A = this chain, B = another copy of it.
């Protein structure tokens, strides 16, 4: 990738397949500072895609560990004062080492304390920001001193906010029935839409959180964060479709989804990926 982390070209299926093969081959160490609801499911999901999870999130160890991790995930779902201290240390170290880190701004915009934490962490320049539309709009509103949380917003409605957040991060995505992923290619901002998935995904807790962690795993091995983020969304959407075919409700879907994250390979990606042609958004 170029010096500023922009992609050589808009990521497509071939790049996603290459990233998935690299993820399996390298098994990167992914440090997660995440919420208490997601820990077990996230660790199992990371193992399923081929990464090696480590939930090191205390202030005593988080900074040092970020220096040896392949990527770092910071998820603001259930922050505590001590965990926030660990997040500061881990993201500072990640930036110093050039290690990619992902910010998942859960409920940012709606809750002032964690919103201030999110804005503070932006100084350490995440490679990727991933959230639902409301969170992306909420974080962008905070970043510009403005406002605007809309919990009913679809992913397309978050594109202007995601564009604004590209001043802080190299790639930004908003999850929805169709995921919207933005990144920079040369001097242009490009939008890639990833369709697929399942209506059962939002019926299982921490699936969005896991997607952020999978994006971190891909960021550890992909040529640039934009490619990593498109690959994570695609792997996720394909696995969700496979799992939905075997599920009889949200409980069995969660189990089948872990099986499917593991089963996804280049053949299933090529057969089932629904990555739309990239479109220009701005410069």
A249-B258, A249-B259, A254-B251 are contacts. A205–B43 as well, Cβ < 8 Å?
A: yes
Given contacts A57-B78, A79-B58, contact A37 B43 (CB under 8 A): yes
Whether B254 lies near A44 (C-beta < 8 A) is yes
A218 to chain B, nearest CB (A): 19
Assuming A44-B251, A254-B251, A256-B252, is B113 touching A60 (CB within 8 A)? yes
Interface contact B39-A55, CB-CB below 8 Å: no
- Is there contact, CB below 8 Å, between B55 and A36? yes
A131 in the interface, Cβ–Cβ < 8 Å? no
Distance between A164 CB and nearest chain B CB, rounded to angstroms: 25
Give the distance in Å from the alpha carbon of A229 to the alpha carbon of B89 in the complex. Answer: 39
Partner of A206 from the list B43, B255, B256 (CB cut-off 8 Å) is B43
Inter-chain CA distance A111–B37, complex, in Å, is 25
Q: Is the CB of A47 within 8 A of B203?
A: yes
**In the complex, given contacts A40-B205, A54-B107, A254-B255, what are 20 additional A-B residue pairs having Cβ atoms less than 8 angstroms apart?**
A35-B55, A36-B36, A40-B40, A43-B205, A43-B206, A47-B204, A48-B249, A48-B250, A56-B78, A57-B78, A58-B113, A60-B113, A61-B114, A65-B111, A249-B258, A250-B258, A250-B262, A251-B258, A252-B258, A254-B258
